[in-house]
Chains A and B, each alone.
Chain A
Amino acid sequence: MLELCNVNKAYAEGRRVLTNLSYTLKAGEYAAIMGDSGVGKSTLLNLIAGLDTPDSGEIRINGVAISSLDDNAATQLRREQFGFIFQAFHVLPHLTLNQNIALPLLLNGTPTDRVEQMLADVGLRDRGHHFPRQLSGGELQRVAIARALIHRPKLVLADEPTGNLDPDTAHEILQLMRAEIKTNGATGILVTHSHAAAATADFVLNLTKDGLYPVKSERSE
C-alpha cells in the first residue's frame, strides 16, 4: 500500500532530516513510529500526505508515485483516502464542532449523518454546536481525530494524536482509532512518544538518522 524508496529531505541551510529512507507498509497494517524529538517524524508524515515534497526518492501509494500526480489529483487522493491528524491539531475556529467534523464528508459530497455518532464516540456527545474556543486542548484533539476518521479513510496518518490526553481517555481514543482502521481495512501510521500508545498498533518502528527499523517482532493478533 505505501512504499518509501530512498526518500531524502533537507530543509533550508542544508539541514538534512531524512536520508535515504526506504520502507514498505502493506495494506491493512497499522504501524507505530517512535523516535527522538526533531528526528523527522512529522516531516515524514507530511511527505507521505503530499503536503510537502521530498528532495529525492519516491513515495508510492497503491503503486502510484505521489510526485506523478498533479495538484488536483493529489488533492482528490487526500480528500477521499486520507485521514490526517496533526501534532498541533488544527481546526477551523469559526465553524462549530459538527461543521468541523463534517468537513471531509462535505468535500466528498457524502451524507453527513455519521457526525453525531462520531462526536459521541470521542466523548463529546451534545457538544456539536459549540465552537472550538469553548473546548479544552484535549477535547480539540479528539475533534481532530473524529474529523480524520469520519469519512472512513484508507490511510490514517496520526501525528501524536493523544499527546494532550490523560492515559485513560488516550487509551479509549486509541482503541477507537484502531477499531476504525481495522473495520475499514485501512492502513495506519501512528507517531507517538508513548510506549503505551505505540502498543495499540500492530508493530512499532523506530525512526533514527539512519532509517526506519522495526523495534520488536510483529504483535500476535
Chain B
Amino acid sequence: MNSVSLSRWLLFGEWRAHFVQMSVALIAIAIGVAMAFSIHLINTAAFNEFSAASKSLSGQSDLQVYGRKAFFDESLYPLLANTEGVALANPVLELDVVVPGKLQNRNDHKLKIIGIDMFRAVQISPDLLGLTEEGKTLDRLADDAIFLSPAAMEWLQVKQGDSLSLHVRLQTITLRVAGGLVRARAGQRIAVMDIGVAQWRFQQLGLLSRVELKLQDGVNHAAFKVKLAEQLGESYRVVEAIDQEKRIANMSRAYRVNLNMLALVALFTGTFLVFSTQVLSVIRRRQQFALLRVLGFTRQQLLRQIITEGMILGVIGSLLGLGLGYAIAVMAIQLLGGDLGANFFPGVKPGVYFDLLTALTFFLVGLVVTMLGSVAPALEAVRAKPAMALRSGSEDVAMAKFLPPWFAVICVSVALLFTQLPPIFGLPVFGYLAIALLLIGGIALMPRFAAWTFSRLLTQLQHYRLGAVLTLVLARLANAPNQAAIALGGILASFSLMVAMAIMVTSFRISIDGWLEQVLPADLYVRAAAIGDQGGFQSDAQRAIAGLPGFDRVDFFRTQQLILDVNRPEITLFARPVDRTDARNTLPLTDDMIASGSLPENVMPIWVSEAMVDLYGYRVGDKVNLPVSGTSNEFLVAGVWRDYGRQFGAVQMQLADYQRLTGDLSVNTVALWLQTGMTADAAIANCGTAVWRRVGDLPVE
C-alpha cells in the first residue's frame, strides 16, 4: 500500500515538474500511432468496400468467364449454358459510359452500366434488379429504361422519371430513369439495364463482357474451372470470385505498401522521439534514482517504477493515437475517398470500420515501443553504483554505454548489405530496412561525431581569444557530447526523413516531366469517349480530324487493355505509328534496344515498358506471344522504354501491325501538333466551327 503511494508521488512529482516534456512525449506517441492506424484503416476500408462492391455485382456465381479483351461474342453464352455441370449461365454486358456533364473531372466522369438478363439475374444477382414504379414491372425490359443506384442518382442529380444523357461513341443518347437499385451498397455508383437494350443502345450488338456461371451441386469447382479453361482456349479466362479479389489486391498493393511504409516511418519517428525523451528524462534523474537506491529502493522496484512511467505514457499516448487515427481516417475518406485521390477505386465510398483486434494491435505496438524507450535507460540506471551515480556529471558516463561504436558500425554495414538484396514478392523490403538501419546507425554515431567536432573546434579556436561563454559552450559540448547527440539525433532523424521525401518527390516529378515530353510530344490530345476498349474514331472521323486546319501533323493511336496473367492487373497496349528509321524518335527508349535498322523483316516488333521486364521477365530479343487479335500473335521485343504512368506494364506496337492483325481501323486517341504561331485555344475554336461537331463533344487535354 505504502509503496504504491510512493510510486504515485514520484510519478506525479515528475510529471508536474516536467509537464512540457511529458506532453511532447505523449504527442509523439499519439502521432506515431495515429498515422499508422489511420492509414491502415483507410486501406482496409477502401479495399473491403471495393471487393464487397465487386462481389455484389457478380452476385452468387461460382465462376465467371471473361474474354482476353473487354468484349467477346455472345455466341459463347448458349455454349456455356448447355455445358454439362452448369446450373445457370448469366450473360452480362458491363460498360463504363461517359457522362457528358461530368467531363471536367478527368478521372471521374464515367458511369458503370450493367446490362443483365432480368430473368436469370433474379437467381444469380438479385441485388441488381431495379425497383420500378408500382404496376410497371415491365419497365425493366423497356427500351429506354435505366435503373440507378442511390449514389448514382445523387451524383447525376436525377430522380425516377427524369431523363439522362450519355455518350455513346460519338453520339449522345437519352434514357429514362425508370427506377432505383435499392440494394446497391452505400456510395456504389452503378446503373442497370436490360442486356438487349444495352447492346442496342450502346452499339455493342452481339457482345458480352462476361458470363457468370452457377454450377450444379456436387460439381468440383476447381476441376470444372480447369476443364472449362482448356475447352475455351486462350481467348477466354475462367475466374473464380477469389481470383478477382486477388487481382484487386495486387492492383493497389504497391500503393498500399507505400502507405504502410509511410505509417511505419511515422511510427519510427514517433518511437525515436519517445525513446529520446525517455532516455533524457531517466538520465536527468540519475542522481534521484541513486538516492532512492541508497534509501532502500531495490533494483526491481526502481526498474518497475521507471517502466510504469513509460507504460502510463504509452497507454495514454496510444489511446490518444487510436482516437486521433480514427478521426483522421474518417476525415480523409470523407475528403479524398478511399484511395486518397489516387483513383484506384473509383465510384466507391467506403465507411471506416472500427475493428477491435486491429485497434488492439496498434495500441500494443505504440505501448511496446514506448516501453522499450524506457527499459533501455532504466536498465542502465538500475545497474549503476549509487555512490557514482550520486555525483553530478555522471550522466555522460551513462550515455556512453548506450551507444557503443560497434553498434553504429554494424547498423551501417548491415544497411549497405541490405541495399544489395533483391525485393521480396516484388516489394523492396530490404530497401526499407536499410533506410531504417542507416538512420539508426547515423544517430548512434552522433555522440562520437559531436565529441570529435567540438573538441577539434575547441583546440583550433584556442589560438583566438574566445569569449568566456563560447569557450564554456564548446568545452561542454566536447566533453559531454551525448546529450548534444540526442538532440542532434532527433534533428538528424526528422531532417533526413524530410530530405528523403523531398528528393523522392522532386526527382520523381523531374523524371515525369522529362518523360511526358517524350511520350506526349504533341500539343493537343483528343481522346474518344471510349466504351471499354471498343469504339473511337472510325475512318470518316479520322479523315475529318486529319483535315483540320491549324495543325502540322496528326497521329492516331489505339490503346487497349490486355490481360496476360489472371493474377495481375491488365497491361496497356498502345498501337501507334513508331518511326521506322529510329524508334527512339517516337519512344523514350532506354539503351536496351535493337537498332531499328537491324530488325528482321518478317517480325512484328514491340517495345515494352520497364514494368514488363520486371513483372513478366521480357528481355530485348525475346519472342513473346500477346493475344492482340483474340488469338495469340508472336512479337519480337525490340526495346525497353521508361514508363512512369502504368505500373502494371505497357507495350507499344506499330499501328499498322495492329490494324493488320485485328482488322479494326478505328483509333481512340489523336495527337495533334500545332502549326507555328497557332495557339491551342485558337485551334480548338477553329475546329469548333469546322468539324468538331462531327467529332462530338470530346474531352480535350
Contacts and interface: CB of A to CB of B under 8 A. Distances in A.
A, B co-complexed = yes
Interface of A: 46, 49, 51-53, 71-72, 75-76, 78-80, 84, 86, 88, 90-95, 99, 103-109, 112, 147
A92 B291 contact: yes
B297 A92 contact: no
A109 B293 contact: no
B291 A90 contact: yes
Interface string B277-303: 000000000011001111111111000
B299 A72 contact: yes
Contacts of A75: 293, 296-299
Contacts of A72: 298-300
B3 interface: yes
B10 interface: yes
B6 A106 contact: yes
B390 interface: yes
Given A72-B298, A75-B298, A51 B3 contact: no
Nearest to B388: A52
Nearest to B16: A94
B385 interface: yes
Most chain A C-beta atoms within 10 Å of own C-beta, residue among B287, B294, B300 = B294
A51 B386 contact: yes
B615 interface: no
A79 B299 CA distance: 13
B385 A51 contact: yes
A49 B295 contact: no
Contact of B13 (A88, A94, A107, A108): A94
A46 B390 CA distance: 11
Contacts of A106: 2-3, 5-6
Contacts of B287: 90
B347 to A, nearest CB: 59
Nearest to B4: A106
Nearest to A109: B2
A86 B16 contact: no
B294 A92 contact: no
B299 A107 contact: no
B257 interface: no
A95 B291 CA distance: 13
Residue of A80, A88, A103, A105 contacting most chain B CB atoms (<10 Å)? A103
Contacts of A86: 390
B254 interface: no
Nearest to B287: A90
Contacts of A79: 295-296
Contact of A92 (B13, B293, B298): B13
Residue among A49, A51, A52, A72 with the highest chain B CB neighbour number at 10 A: A51
A3 B287 CA distance: 29
Given A72-B299, A80-B296, A84-B294, A92 B288 contact: yes
Nearest to A75: B298
Interface in B512-558: none
A71 B299 contact: yes
B1 to A, nearest CB: 8
A94 B248 CA distance: 58
Contacts of B6: 103, 106-107
Contact of B295 (A52, A99, A103): A103
Interface string B147-162: 0000000000000000
B295 to A, nearest CB: 5
A interface, by DSSP: helix, strand, loop or mixed?
helix
A99 B2 contact: no
Contact of A95 (B9, B297, B388): B9
B14 interface: yes
Main SS class of interface, B: helix
A109 B291 CA distance: 18
B563 to A, nearest CB: 68
B387 interface: yes
A88 B10 CA distance: 21
Interface of B: 1-3, 5-6, 9-10, 13-14, 16-17, 287-288, 291-300, 385-388, 390
Given A92-B291, A94-B17, A95-B9, A104 B296 contact: yes
A76 B300 CA distance: 12
A134 B297 CA distance: 26
A194 B384 CA distance: 33
Contacts of B388: 52
Given A53-B385, A90-B390, A109-B1, 10 more contacts: A51-B294, A75-B297, A76-B298, A92-B288, A93-B17, A103-B6, A104-B295, A104-B296, A107-B3, A107-B297
A52 B288 contact: no
Contacts of B17: 93-94
A143 B384 CA distance: 26
B8 to A, nearest CB: 10
Nearest to A53: B385
A74 B390 CA distance: 18
A91 B390 CA distance: 11
6 contacts: A49-B294, A51-B387, A84-B294, A94-B14, A105-B2, A147-B295
Contacts of B2: 105-107, 109, 112
A71 B298 contact: yes
A99 B300 CA distance: 21
- Per CB-CB distance, the 6 closest pairs between chain A and chain B, nearest first, are A79-B296, A94-B13, A51-B387, A52-B387, A46-B387, A107-B296
Contacts of B291: 90-92
A75 B289 CA distance: 13
A12 to B, nearest CB: 11
B295 A107 contact: yes
A78 B296 CA distance: 6
A198 B280 CA distance: 42
A72 B382 CA distance: 12
A221 B250 CA distance: 94
Contacts of A49: 294
Contacts of A80: 296
B390 A76 contact: no
B21 to A, nearest CB: 13
Nearest to A112: B2
Nearest to A43: B387
B138 to A, nearest CB: 83
A78 B387 contact: no
Contact of A99 (B9, B297, B390): B9
Contacts of B3: 106-107, 109
Contacts of A107: 2-3, 6, 295-297
Contacts of B294: 49, 51, 78, 84, 90
Contacts of A84: 294-295
Of B5, B10, B16, B295, chain A has the most CB atoms within 10 Å of the CB of B295
B18 to A, nearest CB: 9
Nearest to A99: B9
B150 to A, nearest CB: 61
A133 to B, nearest CB: 10
Given A46-B387, A51-B386, A90-B390, A108 B288 contact: no
A76 B3 CA distance: 14
Given A90-B287, A94-B13, A107-B6, A52 B298 contact: no
B218 to A, nearest CB: 71
B297 A52 contact: no
Contacts of B298: 71-72, 75-76
B10 A95 contact: yes
A78 B9 contact: no
Contacts of A93: 17, 288
Nearest to A73: B298
A8 B288 CA distance: 28
B9 A76 contact: no
Nearest to A94: B13
Contacts of B14: 94
Contacts of B299: 71-72, 75
Nearest to A47: B387
Contacts of A92: 10, 13, 288, 291-292
Nearest to B390: A90
A80 B298 CA distance: 12
Contacts of B300: 72
